[in-house]
Structure 1
Amino acid sequence: MRKEVATNLQFVDLLNQWDPFHLENGDYEPEIADTIQAVHELDDPLNLAKRIQSIYEFSFEKVIPIEECLLISKDLLVIKANQSCSL
């Protein structure tokens, strides 16, 4: 499996576990796809957190506190950094 595919699967797993709106079956596919795209584009945790917040707000018309978005953005960026550092 290519490294990028494995990394994207880690992102999906993390975002599914996050479940910010406590949905029973986690219907977040479009948001997860948009968030993964944002992770590939951004390296700054706060900018990524703001993007994540806006992605989920657009879909659910509810605002996730920026602190929660910042925590998940940092976790996502750790995965991204590990992917780029590994052999």
Structure 2
Amino acid sequence: MEMLEMNLSLLQRLMEWDPLGYGEDSYDPEIADTIQAVHVLSSPKELARKIQSIYEFSFEEIIPLSECTIMAEELLAIKNESSCSL
């Protein structure tokens, strides 16, 4: 999987996620920030905390860390799948 394909896979997964119930099209800046974080971080715990802080900063609501951890693990699996095929 090339970088573009990986980013599209990450984008698709994050667009399906509606953690605060605002509708799937409500998170474009947060999705971009999260994809950037996926490229920088490799620890599920660190990524989960980063995801939580990105959404909290924008919406002033806290997504439970357990939900962020599940998403972080899914996103890192996409990233790792991409790096294995290079």
Q: TM-score, normalised by structure 1?
A: 0.93
Equivalent pair of 2:16/2:24 in contact (CA under 8 Å): no
SS in 2 for 1:26: helix
2:11 is matched with which residue?
12
1:40-85 deviation per Cα after TM superposition (whole angstroms, max 9, x unaligned): 0000000000000000000000000000000000000000000000
Matched residues in 1 for 2:69 and 2:32: separation? Answer: 18
Q: Aligned runs of 1:76-87 on 2, under 5 Å?
A: 76-87=75-86
- Structure 1 runs of 4+ with >4 Å offset: none
Is 1:60 matched with 2:53?
Answer: no
Q: Aligned pair count?
A: 86
Which region of structure 1 is more displaced relative to structure 2, 44-53 or 16-25?
A: 16-25
Where does structure 1 lack aligned partners over 5 or more consecutive residues? none
1:48 is matched with which residue?
47
Matched residues in 1 for 2:23 and 2:69: separation? Answer: 23
Provide the alpha-carbon RMSD of the alignment.
1.2
1:75 is matched with which residue?
74
Shift in Å, 1:86: 1.0
Matched residues in 1 for 2:24 and 2:14: separation? Answer: 13
SS in 1 for 2:45: helix
Q: TM-score, normalised by structure 2?
A: 0.94
